[in-house]
Amino acid sequence: MAVSHGVIHRVERRTLNVVCAADTTSQQRSVGKSGPSSPAKTQIDVNPPRGTRDFMPEDMRLRSWLFGHFRQVSLQFGFEEFDSPVLESEELYVRKAGEEITTQLYNFEDKGGRKVALRPELTPSLARLVMGAGKGLPLPAKWFAIGQCWRYERMTRGRRREHYQWNMDIVGVAGVEAEAEVLAAITTFFSNVGLTSKDVGIKVNNRKVLQAVLEKYGTPEELFAPVCVVVDKLEKLPREKIEEELAELGVAKDAMDGLLESLSLTSLDKLQDILGEENAAFAELKRLFDLAEAYGYADWLVFDASVVRGLAYYTGTVFEAFDREGVLRAICGGGRYDKLLSAYGGEDKPMVGFGFGDAVIVELLKERNLMPDLGMKVDDVVIGLGDMQVQATSIAAKLRSQGRCVDLVLENKKMKWLFKHADRLSASRVVIVGEKEWESGNVRVKNLESREEGDVAIVDLE
């Protein structure tokens, strides 16, 4: 799915200045007995490539926390995890509906002359795997993935050229029960990280609404997907530009006016008045909202006929989570894509899913002061005094075998350093292995929370 991209927390570091070993005088020396002076070595740029990120330990803790929530929700809903290569065949992504994504590929020919690309999204890889499994795949299949994606595009807040994306997809369920289930997973995730329906809404629509309007005005069926791609730009481009692009596709003026008028609908009752109660788009949307009531997340949903999503493969329900304060771009998005497999020469299966990037959600958590405290934390810091390193090593091994998180000091250090180090690691205890205590079968233990300190028998240490 196409979703928000970007960064969790970019580590900004300036390029270091070139440092020359020789002073100015020595640099100016002429050739002497030993020959010319060696040229100074220029240090590499220590920043990552533009649009990408490093993950320092503190950033990795945040990423692991976020991915842990993604994974927890997926498993809670009975989904199985899959993965695929970051490098895929270019043909998976080159479609002919004018999608922006096709102009943003990191694509090239490999040394064997094959056209390949770094994946910009996960859904085509899923489609490839489903096609490969064929009739041997038990249905319904509920799969999830957390993978890195790449797009060469203009960078803004919450959008970089690489990002990680969480996908949940259901294969083999034709009814909107599948959409209701993945929407339940999304709202569960939001609740788990402290967000409420006052913070986040989910705009919901059905592409069949747009299809019904186009059919009403006799617009050719083959224009449907390209029109959806243009309509998805409504919030980015002025209406005049949208009308110009629709005209270039061959959409008649009356169809254009009717289409743009229908996109302003925000009420299911008004949609019913226009399309009728028996219309498939209205019936599916009503069923979805009824299921949302049963799940208990109806207050998160908002009907918005302008939401169509920018990828041509969507065929029915589409949705997009948004920041209700309007500060940030889309948080995640997805929908139904029942015709994707046939675009790759396969046999179509009903498919529904979403993509959820790692960037905008963190920006939102920052905005709401919901960022977790993820400092480094260990149970014990173990140090050997003097020549007691071997004995300290055995103590660290004993504690680790009991499941405790242990930092073993690997060099001789002073007590002042030790306690500063333990404080930085938020250690619960310091275990000091001294010669005198060891001869008595003990180690010295200081509880940094209670501030209690005393000797503990090695056999009792846990």
pLDDT in tens, 46-61: 998 888 888 899 999 9
Task: Please report which residue ranges of 11-107 form alpha helices under DSSP H.
Answer: 24-27, 57-76
Tokens in use for 402?
A: 């009991």
pLDDT of 425 reads 96
Tokens of 359: 């960037």
pLDDT recorded at residue 99:
59
77 contacts 185 by C-beta, under 8 angstroms? yes
Task: Judge contact between 162 and 53, C-beta under 8 A.
Answer: yes
- Is a pLDDT exceeding 60 seen at residue 276? yes
Using alpha carbons only, give the angle 114, 116, 117 rounded to the nearest 5 degrees. Answer: 170
pLDDT of 179 higher than 80: yes
- pLDDT at position 123: 94
pLDDT of 157: 67
Buried b (16+ CB within 10 A) or exposed e, 428-459: bbbbbbbeebbeeebbbbbebeeeeeeebebe
pLDDT at 133 exceeding the cut of 70? yes
Distance CA(257)–CA(372), nearest Å, equals 48
Q: With pLDDT > 70 as the criterion, what percentage of the chain qualifies?
A: 88
Residue 297, both tokens: 């997340």
**Cα angle 339-340-344, degrees, rounded to a multiple of 5:** 120
- Average pLDDT for residues 74-95, to the nearest whole number? 94
Q: Per the structure block, which two tokens stand in for 232?
A: 């998805």
User: Does residue 32 sit in helix, strand or coil?
Assistant: strand
Considering the entire predicted model, what is its pTM?
0.83
| Residues 6 or more apart in contact with residue 236 via CB below 8 angstroms | none
Tell me how far apart the alpha carbons of residues 308 and 316 are, in angstroms, rounded to a whole number. 9
Q: Mind listing the pLDDT tens digit for each residue in 427-444? A: 999 999 999 999 999 999
Give the tens place of pLDDT for each residue, 201-222.
999 999 888 888 888 888 887 8
The vertex-62 CA angle with 59 and 65, nearest 5°, equals 150
| Secondary structure class of 158 (helix, strand, coil) | coil
Torsion of CA 262, 266, 269, 274, to 10 degrees: 0
The SS3 call for residue 57 is helix
Paired strand residues for 169: 143, 353
For residues 179 and 352, the answer to whether their CB atoms sit within 8 Å is yes
Tokens of 252: 């008649």
Residue that the structure tokens 């005005």 belong to = 217
Mean pLDDT of 365-388: 95
Q: Could you read off the pLDDT of 18-40 as tens digits, one per residue?
A: 333 344 444 444 444 445 566 77
Residues 379, 374: Cα–Cα separation, whole Å: 15
Q: Which helix (H) or strand (E) holds 406?
A: strand 406-408
Is the per-residue pLDDT at 86 higher than 50?
yes
| Side-chain-facing half-sphere of 23: CA atoms under 13 Å | 1
* Separation between Cα atoms, residue 200 and residue 5, nearest integer Å: 18
3-state secondary structure of 148: strand
Distance CA 269, CA 279 (A): 13
Tell me the average pLDDT of the chain.
Answer: 88
User: Using CA atoms, how far apart are residues 377 and 392, in angstroms rounded to an integer?
Assistant: 20
- CB within 8 Å of 19: residues ≥ 6 apart: 43
**Better-predicted residue by pLDDT, 406 or 158:** 406
Instruction: Mean pLDDT check: name the lowest of 12-21, 136-145, 174-183, 230-239.
Output: 12-21
Sign (positive or negative) of CA dihedral 144, 148, 154, 159: positive
